[in-house]
Amino acid sequence: MLVSTDWLKEHLSDPNLIILDTRPKTMFLYGHLSMAQSLSIEQVIRFDEFGSNLVIEQEKIIELFNNLGIDETKTVVLIGDSMDPSMARIAWTLLYFGHEKTFLLDANASDLQKHGFELTRQTSFIEPAVFSPNINSEIRMESNFLKDNLDNFVILDARSPQEFMGGHLPQSKLIPFTEGIGFDGKLFRDGVSLEMLFSKNQISKDKEIVCYCLHGHRASNLFLQLKIAGFEKVKLYDGSFAEWHGKGFTLE
């Protein structure tokens, strides 16, 4: 799921590599890798009446990914910053729509020049592709099903302790996504450290896990941390607290 800066340097000229810069558009325009394209968080979500950031409609993702040159032959590498969970939410979106060749650069975008990369303000042309979605419903949770089956899941809250104390989903356990952020410019702590983090919180790999936060972005980061730690039965509740509270469901 992670690639190093050395790996990226070796593959920059690969015609089957798509690099997506997930930072805000203004930061992308200020300076980015020459072959990178901008894909920001607002392009892969849709809003409901509660302000929830739900996964975008399939027909819109097809058009978006087509224009980015993504198809089943392409390896997609996402670039972002460790404290910005936008990259994780975009990665989850790619996985949800079935693009398994999705990776994250294990370094902060703000450190690219330190790693020897040259930045540009020019945009590059990408040949459009034909993206064929294959939705992986196993990694997404919907509110009504969760409400009726709370006892069947371990529910993890990726928000801050202050937000958690202000109200949280029933039976949920607090694990702020920041606890799994890496050191020395890395996106995440290593797999062993993450496994120890979840073991300390008594999270079992045998259980079905659901991650949520306020809008599903920080929870996407926690989702990836669990995957890196070797957890397979993990879902994102993309509606998260905004939808749950908006629908008037019970809180603790």
Q: What angle do CA 38, 44, 46 make, to 5 degrees?
A: 140
CB atoms within 10 A of CB 33: 21
Instruction: Calculate the average pLDDT of the chain.
Output: 96
Does residue 184 surpass a pLDDT of 90?
Answer: no
In sequence order, the 6+-apart residues with CB closer than 8 A to the CB of 1 are 102, 103, 104, 224, 227, 228
pLDDT of residue 124: 84
Element (H, E) at 54: strand 53-55
What confidence tier does 197 reach under pLDDT thresholds 50, 70, 90? very high
pLDDT of residue 105: 97
Say which residue, 215 or 185, is predicted with more confidence.
215
pLDDT of residue 91: 98
- Range 66-88 average pLDDT: 96
32: which 2 tokens? 């980015």
CB atoms within 10 A of CB 20: 22
pLDDT of residue 129: 97
- Range 207-213 average pLDDT: 98
pLDDT of residue 123: 87
CA nearest to 101, candidates 16, 211, 187: 16
Count of all residues that appear for the chain in the document: 252
DSSP assignment letter at 184: T
Buried b (16+ CB within 10 A) or exposed e, 48-72: eebebbbbbeeeebbebbeebbbbe
Could you check whether 2-120 and 137-246 share the same CATH topology? yes
How do residues 97-126 score in pLDDT, each as one tens digit? 999 999 999 999 999 999 999 999 998 889
User: May I ask the CATH class of domain 137-246?
Assistant: alpha beta
Question: Model-level pTM greater than 0.85?
Answer: yes
CATH number for the segment(s) 2-120 = 3.40.250.10
Does residue 42 surpass a pLDDT of 90?
Answer: yes
CA nearest to 43, candidates 4, 93, 6, 81: 93
Domain ranges within the chain, ordered by starting residue: 2-120, 137-246
What confidence tier does 18 reach under pLDDT thresholds 50, 70, 90? very high
How do residues 168-177 score in pLDDT, each as one tens digit? 999 999 999 9
